[in-house]
Structure 1
Amino acid sequence: MALAYFLSVILAMEVMVSGYRFGEAGGLSMNYYIMTCPFAESVIKDIVNRALQDDPTVAAGLVRMHFHDCFIEGCDASILLDSTKDNTAEKDSPANLSLRGYEIIDDAKEELERQCPGVVSCADIVAMASRDAVFFAGGPVYDIPQGRKDGRRSKIQDTINLPSPSLNASELIRLFGQHGFNAQEMVALSGAHTLGVARCSSFKSRLTNVDPNMDSNFAKTLSKTCSAGDTAEQPFDPTRNSFDNLYYNALQRKSGVLISDQTLFATQRTRGIVNGYGLNQAMFFLDFQQAMVKMSLLDVKEGSNGEVRNNCRKIN
């Protein structure tokens, strides 16, 4: 397994090189801040590392924040903007109320503003913080191009496009396909659920009429969780703070927490991918990092299409 992982890292480096060329063509680059803020990456990495040492559960929050940012308006830190009296922002959508890690982004931005004011975008901080969270949780090593600008729009109505926990595999494939991802990339990105928990309100509908795709003993586990109320939490897999492939093993046991999890194994089109990742963690890591780099490039804003916010919570 150690050799397989090493080989996956080497292959990932090759993938990152091609991603680098693609990024440069789009105005992004791996060394975007080398002259203007050379310690940007190390500042973010250190702050994320300290935060995870204090609270390992926040890794899931940072990864989910990046995903929810990129799927709405592209990777432009729109998820960080606070609501105003004239506008209800994305973060106040019911789909985003459980997001965590905003204070980590604030801390990184504050330190970077001290070192190199007006240089590092909040969008880049979110993307790098998510990457670092995966690494510190034991996941794959990968790099992403930088140079994203921050958006000026954040509206609650846009969050209707976020994936619902009740979607089936066909609906997920269609939704992710609208953002340029194929079925395999969708299943790989779903593996981010190896980190974190789901609240009872997200899966209790499976217990009313017991889901035939759910193991009966696991159904009892979920029922026990929900006995504590809608905000009670159930880990997606047994190692909620470790990035591994046990999420897929849980799906193979019919112990996926959400409908949108278990459907990946219940559906013929995606079952083979789940089985592959459940058997080969190195393969999952490689596919996940490639998909994450691709996601980090969704509809990025450059030049006058965006800005570098002084405060991640409000436009300049």
Structure 2
Amino acid sequence: MTSPTPPSSPARIVDGGHVGPVDAAQTPRWAGLGTFARLPRLDEVERADVVVAGIPFDSGVSYRPGARFGPNHVRESSRLLRPFNPAQGVSPFAQVQVADAGDIVANPFDIVAAMEAVHAGAAALTQGGTRLVAIGGDHTIALPLLRNAHDQHGPVALLHFDAHLDTWDTYFGAEYTHGTPFRRAFEEGLLDTDALSHVGTRGPLYGTADLDDDERFGFGIVTSADIYRLGVDAVVALLRERVGQRPLYVSIDIDVLDPAHAPGTGTPEAGGMTSRELLEILRGLRGLNLVGADVVEVAPAYDHAELTGVAAAHVVYDLISLLALGGGSEPGGPVYGHSRPTYGKD
């Protein structure tokens, strides 16, 4: 009896000497393995400049669970992404080699052990200068990712997009949860305290002490109401001035978006940003020294019509585009239309 013939590998777009996504003109977008943006797996390329990795861990949540299923949901939602990003004027997969590294496996029953595994996994993926964009998972994973960024760059600037501060102390006596990573990061000396900002925060707090502690750690706050009143360009100017050219880590909880744009998350709050505002602020960071990023808290069980997954996939795509352009690149603008923003220029 003869063995069945295995299917041939799908044709891929190769541009700039880099292996890119599966060619949608040869293989339908709904077919084939669901890597991010249908990119090659890490084991299918010799090396990668940027890797996407899932971290399917949500044992640190304080309300609705389910973000452990976020990485593959975002991957499935990314199938429609295309190779050229007109908003940033770059073909990121031609500019640098990007690959999907699969998932970093973390112990679901032991948060400390899980963080150690994430730290080790991130270190292995970023050796040699590779940049990592992680897809969570809950926000607990930001702490080990920041530990890895600090190992490589020293104290890093942080832009934290979130409905919540995530600088609380403990829940039920637990120090490591999705609401505490940035307090722990401050205590461990991982952050450059002259260059920290929350973006998009809103909603009730436990008391004014929350804000007092947060200010003591060095955080500035741009609320979702500030974004509405000031506008994207003004907010971008403020963030660029605060960060400068320091090594920058960007951490994005998808609940920074209003539930109308991202219902599939564990702790939704009314009055959030639109997906357009979030993407435009990220695009305004072009030329900054971005060294790593995460997108977390996508919980597909609550994601009707795949709104959250699509938004998160586009956020990851724009983060990859920023990494492809690199620090020090000239602030640029969209190919669509006629306007070209001049963030950072007189």
TM-score by length of 1: 0.31
TM-score by length of 2: 0.29
Of Structure 1 and Structure 2, the greater helix share is in: 1
Of Structure 1 and Structure 2, the greater strand share is in: 2
